[in-house]
A and B are shown apart, each in its own frame.
Chain A
Amino acid sequence: MLAGLILGFGLTDIISISDFSKKDIETVLEKAAEMEKLPKDKKNRVLADKIVASLFFEPSTRTRLSFETAIQNLGGQVIGFADAGVSSTKKGESLSDTIVNISGYADIIVMRHSIEGAARRAAEVSNKPVINGGDGANQHPTQTLLDLYTIKKQFGKIQGLNIGLLGDLKYGRTVHSLMYALQKFGNVNVYCIAPESLRMPYEIIEDVEGSIKVEETTKLGDFLPELDVLYATRIQKERFVDEFEYEQIKNVFILGKEILKSTKKGFKIMHPLPRVNEIKPEIDKTDAALYFEQSKNGVPVREAILSTLKDAKK
């Protein structure tokens, strides 16, 4: 497999954050910053002669629209579908066959699928670059990259920060991926704040300890004054076998303005969105709210990825 043509970038597909080196991540973040400053008339020539397939076998609004905006900003054309119900999957075609066929029409493939490993398989069978927009509970690498970009843009750095991860740390793919990404940078203090039943899996903590410091607690107040960032996630009712347990903890980590009395200057709250009730709207207009900017950063980060992969040869 030949590397992408951008110096320092070693990938021809974006499947999992585990494939990235620290240098690869830094290349994407630098490119995203460049994309934000690039004049429109230059930007819309980047994918001028390219067709990008947007294959959302599983519905998504934010990720799909963010990718399609990025493609159009870069001057590319989009083909594809937003739901597996309208694809040949409904006729029983295998994913592998669908991808091989579509590789004949498009220059780059962006996909989301409910089956874990689907994007990895797509990258195996396709001769075009594949970008994983989410595969089941497994990976969502562009989310992690935009999370890192948001942190870097806000604080000027990633290392040396105190980052709290809050909520569903057991099933949350965004926080798992963020842990592994932070491990590549090293020298970060991570505070895992979750109910006992939704703790960060010990295998992940085992994997990353040594590069980053990890502390766990069930109480938000324990580390709040030290945090630079609090990354909140939704506690999903469907994860709980015991509805009583869910009812007990669902409101434990609701963030309201009162928490800002205990936080330090420059403290920011992030969230992969959509939120339900875990961040009260009263926080939206405060300096702490970074989540809408975070979502917006998805466009330059995806522009950076598309631009980086456009001439990659497999």
Chain B
Amino acid sequence: MKADDIRLVPISNGTVLDHLPPGTALKILKILGLDKPDKAVTAAINTESKSARAGKKDLVFIEGRELSKEEYDKIGLIAEGSTVNIIKDSHVKKKINIELPEKAHGLFVCLNPKCISAVEGLSSKFELKEKPLRAKCLYCEKTMNEQDLFKAIK
């Protein structure tokens, strides 16, 4: 089903996340703390898209909120290449392309239970490598793949 075929109520002021990789919307809502019962948000999942690499995409519509740099960085880890539309008075005021963050400090946890960062509750430090996406913990030097990263984002 195309996005246009779904009844989506445009937002007046807020943020639209477009061209998200299919299946990432729910994780992104969790990252943004929008998966709580008191938050109202619209998400379209696995909609058809000619322009999307996988032929499908997710979308998220957030009324009344812009995102912080840390939130962009976290989204960039799992949705590089997606687009953020900042909406003001029902118009697209600004478009931003989501990119992989340069630094990945404190964005996600090391999944190695034997890592000092896990044992002592330290803020994590990672070095990112692309193609394929991998994150190397600068403490224990274990590398996480894309699937692990998905689980590790706080």
Give the interface SS of chain B, mostly helix, strand, loop or mixed.
loop
- Which residues 128-154 in B have Cβ within 8 Å of A in the complex? 134, 137-143
Q: How many residues of B contact A (CB 8 A)?
A: 16
* Contact call A16/B119, Cβ cutoff below 8 A: no
A116 contacts which chain B residues (CB < 8 A)?
A: 112, 114-116, 139-142
A137 contacts which chain B residues (CB < 8 A)?
A: 114
B interface, CB within 8 angstroms of A: 112, 114-117, 119-120, 122, 134, 137-143
* Contact call A121/B116, Cβ cutoff below 8 A: yes
A121 contacts which chain B residues (CB < 8 A)?
A: 116-117, 120, 122, 139
* Contact call A203/B117, Cβ cutoff below 8 A: no
Of the residues B134, B141, B143, contact of A117 by C-beta under 8 Å = B141
A94 at the interface (CB under 8 A from B): yes
Question: How many CB-defined contacts (below 8 Å) exist between A and B?
Answer: 46
Q: Kindly state the separation between the CA atoms of A278 and B116 in the bound complex, as whole angstroms.
A: 33
In addition to A94-B120, A135-B140, 20 A-B residue pairs with Cβ atoms within 8 Å of each other are: A16-B141, A95-B116, A95-B120, A96-B120, A114-B114, A115-B114, A115-B119, A116-B114, A116-B115, A116-B142, A117-B115, A117-B116, A117-B140, A118-B116, A120-B138, A121-B116, A138-B140, A138-B142, A139-B141, A203-B143
* Contact call A115/B143, Cβ cutoff below 8 A: no
Of the residues A94, A136, A139, contact of B114 by C-beta under 8 Å = A136
A interface, CB within 8 angstroms of B: 16, 18, 94-96, 114-118, 120-121, 135-139, 203
Q: Kindly state the separation between the CA atoms of A139 and B140 in the bound complex, as whole angstroms.
A: 9
18 A-B pairs within 8 Å (CB atoms) are namely A18-B141, A114-B114, A115-B116, A116-B112, A116-B114, A116-B116, A116-B140, A116-B141, A117-B115, A117-B117, A117-B137, A117-B139, A117-B141, A121-B122, A137-B114, A138-B140, A138-B142, A203-B143
